[in-house]
Structure 1
Amino acid sequence: MRSSLRLLANVKPARYLEPFAPTGLTGLITHPSPRPTLIYLYTTTLDKLKAFPESSVYRQSTEALTRHRLQIVESTKPPGYDAWLERVRKAVQAEPERFKSLRLPDGSYAAIQKGDGNVDPRGRAAEWDGEGMEPSSEGPVRTPEEIAYWHKVIEESAAAEKKDSDFEAQSMNWESEPALEADQVSEIEKKIGAGLIEEVIQVAEGELKLVDEMLKAQVWEELEEKPSPGQWTYFERTHAPGGQ
């Protein structure tokens, strides 16, 4: 039902979803690059869960669900992904120190804004104002926040080069990951079964915030105040005399 809402929100069928276009759900707009965003959120969540004891029920359940969803997202690769990844690898291998600041916690170099380390800011893109948008048929567009972030990173890298060299630093061009096709997004949504991919991103953002709170509360420890006898006992089915 929700997938059909997205289709109804589009003026005409397209190979790619139009970034920031309405999804059919109030207040929710089409995310420009859901795949790298989810990969970042899931890998960061899994990394933070390592601080919990392995015996923690919260860690066990959250890890299982997060790994499952991460596998679904990672296994769905957009057209041109392998060629893009090869270009990125060659660029990094040629100048590893220069691209060091673009390395993500999971070891990848996807062009994704890292924000303050808690939640990827792209999960809440600017609200669509109802004005027409330029069509995007090949790959995701970058938000103003993304552009500003990468310009800052590039400027810092260039400044660092100037300190160690008398030569003019060359500009750093970073290519974004190719976009998923509309059918691929729909397939991910079906496999995860939790609504639109934008809703899945919202849940992933919330879980990432929750991990910090659960760690701060040390939820794996014994309760300071023991529960009263029977407090956590659920209602049991009672049987009538004679097995009726």
Structure 2
Amino acid sequence: MVSEKVSCCLSPCRSGVEHKVNPLRADFNTSSPWNRPTPISPSPFTMRSTLRLLANVKPRYLEPFAPTGLTGLFTHPSPRPTLIYLYSTTLQKLQAFPESSAYRQSVEALTRHRLQVIESQKPAGFDAWLERVRKTVGAEPERFAKVQRTDGTYTHAAAQQKDGSDDARGEEWDGEGLSATTEGPARTPQQEAEWAKIMNEASETTDKAQHDFYHQDMKWESEPSLDADQISHVEQQIGAGLIEEVIQVAETELKLVDELAKAKVWEELEEKPQPGQWTYFERGN
């Protein structure tokens, strides 16, 4: 085996001070920008300060359908109009109960309070949106009568679809737009024109509800969204968890009010209980 003796030589640098250079690394170029020393990493204190600043940066608006941290519960896309619709409908159905009903009095007080909290928070651009909606409704007042409230405002709670297509079925998985299809055997162009004429006449008549081909679907501009701070304020004022949880409670309460109203629970029982039937279940026993 041939051994090679490695020696160090002295070579003057740009500052005039001699330094040692390994002859095996004769290609080492001290003037190259690629051979500069590694910069010093920031201190842990600097990193903690940066991370703390980044943690304080919160999104202005909550992302719809994003996880909320609760299993099976996702961020609601439009909580304000949904809650207003649910609370307004609940108050309307409670009118069927007697005024002396303790259930009606308690639910009305709670529902009115929460309705006031959610209505007090108006999103940015709400007035401009309301003006556009009024113009749209003015063109077809009969069509939008269902979404108009008694105070003149408009609200809705319905399934939302992405804008860009008037087809309620959306688009195919491959992006190809859906075209209208008809049942039965293939038709000639003349038969297709006659069929289209019948469909148009059925949808343009004033008494649309009597025709099978009339659809209740309507294109409605969504209300501007509340920002994260406004939603947080609503959650703190109501004090019942996330706003998505509040919506679930409002939906369940509306179903309960509807069932109790149908059963007319305020009326006398058809079958009177026997004397002493519930004595065993009294608190004193």
TM bucket (normalised to shorter chain) is 0.5 to 0.7
The structure with the larger Rg is 2
| Residue 57, structure 1, aligned to residue 102, structure 2 | yes
CA contact (8 A) 1:43 1:106 kept: no
Query: Does the C-alpha gap of structure 1 residues 94 and 193 become closer, same or farther in structure 2, counting only changes over 3 Å?
Result: same
Identify the residue that residue 13 of structure 2 maps to in structure 1.
Answer: none
Which structure 1 segments of 5+ residues have no match? 1-9, 114-121, 123-141, 152-157, 165-171, 236-244
1:70 to 115, 128, 137: 115
Q: Spell out the pairing of 1:64-213 with structure 2 (5 A cutoff).
A: 64-100=109-145, 102-103=147-148, 108-113=153-158, 142-143=160-161, 162-163=204-205, 174-213=220-259
Unpaired runs of at least 5, structure 2: 1-54, 171-199, 207-217
Structure 2 residue 261 is the aligned partner of structure 1 residue 218 = no
Flag the 1:48–1:111 CA change in 2: closer, same or farther, 3 A: closer
If asked which structure has higher relative contact order (CA below 8 Å, sep 6+), I would say 1
Cα offset, 1:215, TM superposition: 1.7
SS at match of 1:50: helix
Q: Which string of whole-angstrom CA distances, capped at 9 and with x for unpartnered residues, describes residues 134-176 of structure 1?
A: xxxxxxxx347xx87699xxxxxx8767346xxxxxxx85311
Contact 1:189 1:197 in 2 (8 A): yes
SS at structure 2 position matched to 1:20: coil
Give 1:98 deviation, angstroms. Answer: 4.5
Instruction: Check whether the contact 2:85–2:156 (CA below 8 A) recurs between aligned residues.
Output: no
Q: How far apart are the structure 2 equivalents of 1:148 and 1:110?
A: 23
Query: Does the 8 A contact of 1:111 with 1:177 survive in 2?
Result: no
TM-fit CA distance, 1:220 = 1.9
Decide whether aligned partners of structure 1 residues 27 and 67 sit closer, same or farther in structure 2, where only a CA change above 3 A counts: same
Aligned to 1:36: 81
The root-mean-square deviation of aligned C-alpha atoms, in Å, is 3.3
2:69 to 1, 10, 24: 24
SS at match of 2:155: coil
Q: Aligned partners of 1:99 and 1:150: how far apart in 2?
A: 22
The answer on whether the counterparts of 1:41 and 1:208 sit within 8 Å (CA) in structure 2 is yes
Question: What TM-score, normalized to structure 1?
Answer: 0.64
Residue 21 of structure 1: how far off its partner (Å): 0.3
**CA distance, structure 1, for counterparts of residue 112 and residue 63 of structure 2:** 28
Letter in 1 for 2:254: L
SS at 2:233 equivalent: helix
SS for the counterpart of 2:154 is coil
Is contact 1:111–1:175 with CA below 8 Å preserved after alignment?
A: no
Q: How many residues align?
A: 184
1:33-91 C-alpha deviation (Å, 9 max, x unpaired): 00000011110111111111111111111111111101101111111111111111122
- Given that 1:111 and 1:176 are in contact with CA atoms closer than 8 Å, whether structure 2 keeps it comes out as no
User: Does the Cα contact within 8 Å between 2:66 and 2:74 map onto a contact in 1?
Assistant: yes
